[in-house]
Amino acid sequence: MTATPPLDETHPVDEKLPALKMATTGLQHVAAMYAGVVAPPLIVGAAIGLSATELTFLTGACLFTAGLATFLQTLGIWKIGARLPFVNGVTFAGVAPMTAVVASTKDKSDALPIIYGAVIVAGLLGFIAATFFSKAIRFFPPVVTGTVITLIGISLLPVAFGWAQGPNPAAHDYGSTTNLGLAAATLAIVLVLRRFTRGFVKQIAVLLGLVAGTLIAIPFGVTDFGPVADAHVIGFPTPFHFGAPQFQLAAILSLCVVMVVSMTESTADMLALGEIVERPADERTIAAGLRADTLGSALSPLFNGFMCSAFAQNIGLVAMTRIRSRYVVATGGGFLVLMGLCPMAASLIAVVPRPVLGGAGVVLFGSVAASGIQTLVKAGLDKDNNVLIVAVSLAVGMIPITAPDFYHAFPQTAKIVLDSGISTGCVAAVFLNLVFNHLGKGREAQDVTHPMETGEQIAAAAH
């Protein structure tokens, strides 16, 4: 049964920690998601052909807007924000359609304004749809949520493996023994700290592992301090720096599809995090969280940022450290805003070599998958129907991971959805749960899981 604190005690999600602990654990969240935030602007900016200065500006803008979106999600205002320890940042799901917009735009100076116009419209439409979208919670019993949480972790692991090999697949040292050795050393340091330390040191093991891994990397020439030397101390993301937003139907439709995918993944992420922090995400929480995602996305282009969404990799950090305070993540959001205003501060995180991030990522993302397996244990896998649901949904969700070109013959718009293993696996799990457990009159009652039935109720029924 989900633990509920006494009325006179503060739930760990709402706990305010000492300043030092808040700062270090918040910075740990930033370190875990930094690469995911800066990758989309770097890819899109390179496709447009932005100068190094403009590329730095675009990256800083995305960090700044990620911080604002994180504030919306963790602290909340009115009925906006899940008020859970969620980090928000640029969703990678939008990279493919944004680069497609760039490719189809003759005058590249119009590319970003067109993208920003599409993001604004998609964000506003998503905000309106959040209340209706949240009602899908009834279709997420433990057999579905456990499958989706597991898929989130599995989908993120290839990212960690890619980081472990190096930042550039075209580089001669990509996948070298040096890079893999640094990843392994970082992983070992995190594991040792988690096993042989306790208290505060144990909780910031990932941050300490990243620092230690970076220091170890210096003699191997993998650590680059150039970004720190070249970075400006102050830099504000001027509103509509790249031009006023333009509204083109094709781009809007494309980004609306991405918004649906993003909302589906965010719903799954909120359900996963709710389980981990022992504050299950109900319909109202999901609606508020989706409003934060979509409003953050709609406002992001004002400061030259892209579509924002919850970052699944940080769920692993919460699961591993057991620090559940939303104020810790809000502190991380403060660091993101600071980095957006101070490029030199942002460059300090950029110093961490990608292989070092990869070593830490194995622990973080693996922890998410492990949390999903824990949820599946409560899902009644002694029933054949549930075993089939999990088996097929995991298989469908892993297609983009194990066979990236599987959907190569499909239209680009369809591939935006199909190339997200989390989304396809989620849809498959919901559909199969309805087919096997809720349709047809010949089913046996003891083999059926009610959509809103908890894991404890399933276990009780089995006895």
- pTM for the model stands at 0.67
Q: Higher-confidence residue: 126 or 357? A: 126
pLDDT digits (tens, 9 = 90+) for 233-250: 777 778 888 889 999 887
Whether residue 278 contacts residue 238, with contact meaning beta carbons closer than 8 Å, is answered with no
Domain boundaries, the chain: 12-462
Residue 454 has pLDDT above 50, yes or no: no
Q: Chain-wide mean pLDDT for the chain?
A: 81
Most confident of 55-59, 231-235, 333-337, 413-417: 333-337
Encoded amino acid at 249, one letter:
L
> Residue 416: its pLDDT value, please?
64
Burial profile 259-269: b = 16 or more Cβ within 10 angstroms, e = fewer: bbbbbbbbbbb
The reported pLDDT for the residue numbered 230 is 67
**Top-confidence residue, 134 or 121:** 121
- Tens-digit pLDDT profile for residues 296-324: 999 999 999 999 888 776 787 788 778 88
Confidence of residue 451 (pLDDT cuts 50, 70, 90): very low
pLDDT digits (tens, 9 = 90+) for 264-300: 778 878 888 888 888 888 889 899 999 999 999 999 9
User: 425 Cβ partners below 8 Å, 6+ apart?
Assistant: 147, 148, 151, 393, 394, 396, 397, 398
- Cβ-based neighbours of 268, under 8 Å, separated by 6 or more: 145, 148, 149, 152, 422, 426
- The CA distance from 214 to 138, in Å, is 45
What is the reported pLDDT for 179? Answer: 92
CA-based nearest residue to 63, from 455, 323, 346: 346
CA gap 71, 62 in Å, rounded: 14
461 band by pLDDT with thresholds 50, 70 and 90: very low
pLDDT, position 290: 93
Nearest to 386 by CA among 443, 449, 446: 449
Q: How far is CA 438 from CA 58, 144, 449, in A?
A: 49, 14, 8
pLDDT computed for residue 121 by the predictor: 95
Q: Which pLDDT score, from 0 to 100, does residue 59 have? A: 82
Distance of CA 350 to the CA centre of its chain: 19
For 48-67, what is the mean pLDDT? 82
Radius of gyration of the chain (CA): 22
- Residue 228 pLDDT > 60: yes
Tokens representing residue 55 in the block: 């590329």
Please report, rounded to a whole number, the percentage of residues in the chain having pLDDT higher than 90. 20
Average pLDDT for 88-113: 80
Looking at the predicted structure, is the pLDDT value of residue 456 above 50? no
Does position 37 have pLDDT exceeding 90, yes or no? no
Closest CA to 55 of 346, 364, 270: 346
Q: Residue 417 to residues 68, 195, 257, 258, 429: CA-CA distances in angstroms?
A: 27, 40, 8, 7, 15
The predicted pLDDT at position 302 comes to 92
pLDDT at 350: 65
Q: The tokens of 392 are what?
A: 């097929």
| pLDDT at res. 195 | 87
Rounded to the nearest 10 degrees, how much is the dihedral formed by the CA atoms of 163, 164, 165, 166? 50
Q: Summarize pLDDT for 360-393 with one digit per residue, the tens.
A: 888 877 877 887 787 788 777 777 888 899 999 9
Closest Cα to residue 47, out of 57, 56, 36, 55? 55
Q: Does pLDDT of 147 surpass 70?
A: yes
How many residues appear in the chain?
463
Q: What is the C-alpha separation between 73 and 242, in angstroms, rounded?
A: 27
What tens digit of pLDDT does each residue of 388-400 get? 999 999 999 899 8
**Using CA atoms in the order 267, 88, 149, 213, what is the torsion angle rounded to 10 degrees?**
180
208 vs 214: CA distance, rounded Å? 10
